[in-house]
């Protein structure tokens, strides 16, 4: 990390990662830590400022996460956001009450003068609220910073102690001037210096991996996606031929993906790569399964079994590398991070058999997807690889709703291929986070020529996002959607209807399962 950093105590908000992301965009290092981190622990490497994140709890709950009040005596600037504001008020002598009206969504607020957090911000802005409880009385030394129609204290502050709090979320794109508010905190209040660069991060990380691995060898489960690919190139830079990559073709990949991965990594980059063809084993294991979590867990367990069988060949490997990134951590609920709620199971190489006692190497676990791409560019990797859209670990298994079969995989591969070919023609293709096809367990009547058809329905999903924590559906031009639909229906026998998904995250997820 740089000389200065911002500590973010995680109280479980799905937006917590966005706070860290916004601050890193300012080239200031920020790290999310457990909400029960003590002042004594923080003193070992004092941050320039502390942020208390939002969260789903009420301060009145017996099990509600709390804060070490000694943090308020460290002399550091503290910013409370949403639940963080309520907790700050509750602990410092204010009064928090259950809200008579829940505020959720865009709300206008009126800003009072005197708060450096709002320096250069208009007096009336629209912000993103997401709370039930509210602060009814602020602690004695605080002043009102902003007000909304139903929230008497939309912000509060104590300049002398450098304590600040917001009832809204400045980190989300829906809040006007949200980034400016955070910038005022980071630079104006915490006096940080923009000294965190990805080029320096690469040098530091390569050095750390060299020190961690020493003269030992590393095995890596390569998926061909951005995360594992950047991990592979980073490790190759650090330890060279002592890295052994294993690619499991589970039969749930995009069209011809296994061949492309082998071409790219073995032939072009010269990495030691083993390709395991295991499609039939996965199809057999998925027979009769239609529950999303059951499918994810079955795919994940079999992946581990197949990977373990191959990994046993590398008897001298002491380390296992994974392309784990920040959003994986938040959505899989890492206990070391905080109380964030589980959304869905993620697919990685955890739970290996006892005879494979690997130590983990996870160089990307504190990076967001666009930061991973930035690291790849520092390493000189091709845009063709780095600009690949995210692809779920369970692959098409979670894009085929209901039971997965080889025939359904074939249908979806062909439909998705046409979606990919058309979306790549858009001039702003690189700004789209993800576009893909989903095969629905729904058949409907259609007509082709003079023949009645009764075939599957395909959904197209496309979203814009920064780091997958929130996402909005892409406004694809109608003529492009028309071409996708026409090509799928006319060229993929077995699908006779195409629909477009216009739901955002939240409340929906990006993947359908």
Annotated active-site positions, please? 82, 169, 171
Q: Which two tokens stand for residue 372?
A: 């991973």
d(CA 110, CA 192): 28
Burial (CB count within 10 angstroms: exposed 0-12, middle 13-18, buried 19+), residue 21: buried
Sequence-distant (6+) residues with CB within 8 A of 501 are 438, 459, 460, 461, 462, 473, 512
- Supply φ then ψ for residue 194, to 5 degrees: -75, 90
Burial (CB count within 10 angstroms: exposed 0-12, middle 13-18, buried 19+), residue 98: exposed
Q: Which two tokens stand for residue 335?
A: 């206990």
CA 145 to each of CA 118, 148, 477: distance values in angstroms, whole numbers, following the listed order: 9, 11, 43
DSSP 201-217: HHHHHHHHHHHHHTT-E
213 preceded by a cis bond (ω within 30 of 0): no
401, 443 in Cβ contact below 8 A?
no
H or E stretch covering 199: helix 198-213
Sequence-distant (6+) residues with CB within 8 A of 10 are 16, 32, 33, 34, 35, 53, 337, 338, 339, 340
17, 31 in Cβ contact below 8 A?
no
3-state DSSP assignment of residue 38: coil
Closest by alpha carbon to 84, among 72, 100, 74, 75? 72
HSE-CB at 506 with a 13 A cutoff on CA atoms is: 9
Sequence-distant (6+) residues with CB within 8 A of 104 are 129, 130, 131
């Amino acid at each position: 990390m740089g000389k200065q950093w911002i500590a973010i105590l995680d109280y479980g908000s799905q937006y917590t990662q966005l706070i860290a992301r916004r601050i890193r965009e300012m080239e200031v290092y920020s790290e999310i830590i457990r909400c029960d981190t003590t002042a004594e622990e923080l003193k070992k490497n004092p941050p320039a400022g502390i942020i208390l994140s939002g969260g789903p709890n009420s301060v009145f709950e017996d099990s509600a996460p709390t804060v070490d009040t000694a943090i308020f005596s460290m002399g550091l600037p503290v910013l409370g956001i949403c639940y963080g504001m309520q907790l700050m008020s509750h602990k410092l002598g204010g009064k928090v009450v259950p809200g008579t009206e829940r505020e959720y969504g865009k709300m206008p607020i009126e800003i009072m003068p005197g708060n450096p957090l709002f320096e250069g911000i208009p007096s009336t802005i629209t912000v993103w609220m997401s709370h039930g409880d509210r602060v009814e009385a602020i602690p004695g030394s605080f002043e009102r910073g902003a007000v909304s129609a139903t929230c008497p204290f939309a912000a509060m502050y104590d300049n002398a102690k450098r304590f600040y709090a917001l009832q809204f979320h400045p980190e989300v794109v829906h809040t006007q001037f949200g980034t400016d508010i955070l910038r005022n905190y980071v630079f104006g209040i915490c006096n940080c210096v923009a000294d965190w660069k990805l080029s320096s991060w690469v040098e530091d990380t390569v050095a750390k991996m060299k020190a961690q691995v020493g003269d030992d060898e590393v095995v890596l489960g390569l998926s061909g996606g951005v995360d594992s690919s950047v991990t592979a190139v980073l490790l190759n830079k650090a330890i060279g031929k002592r890295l052994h990559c294993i690619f499991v073709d589970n039969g749930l990949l995009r069209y011809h993906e296994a061949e492309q991965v082998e071409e790219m990594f073995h032939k072009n980059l010269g990495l030691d790569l083993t390709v395991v063809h295991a499609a039939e084993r996965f199809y057999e294991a998925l027979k009769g399964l239609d529950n999303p979590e059951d499918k994810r867990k079955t795919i994940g367990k079999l992946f581990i079994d197949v990977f373990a069988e191959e990994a046993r060949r590398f008897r001298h490997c002491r380390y296992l590398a994974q392309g784990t990134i920040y959003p994986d951590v938040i959505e899989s609920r890492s206990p070391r991070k905080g109380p964030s709620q589980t959304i869905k199971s993620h697919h990685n190489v955890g739970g290996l058999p006892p005879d494979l006692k690997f130590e983990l190497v996870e160089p990307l676990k504190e990076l967001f997807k666009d930061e991973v791409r930035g690291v790849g560019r520092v390493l000189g990797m091709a845009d063709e690889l780095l600009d690949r859209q995210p692809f779920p670990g369970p692959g098409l298994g979670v894009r085929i709703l209901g039971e997965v079969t080889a025939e359904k995989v074939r249908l979806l591969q062909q439909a998705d291929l046409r979606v990919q070919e058309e979306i790549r023609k858009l001039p702003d293709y690189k700004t789209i986070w993800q576009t893909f096809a989903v095969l629905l367990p729904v058949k409907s009547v259609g007509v082709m020529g003079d023949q009645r058809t009764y075939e599957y329905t395909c959904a197209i999903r496309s979203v814009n996002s920064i780091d997958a924590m929130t996402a909005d559906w892409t406004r694809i031009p109608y003529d492009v959607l028309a071409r996708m639909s026409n090509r799928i229906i006319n060229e993929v026998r077995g699908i006779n209807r195409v629909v477009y998904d216009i739901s955002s995250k939240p409340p929906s997820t990006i993947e359908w399962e």
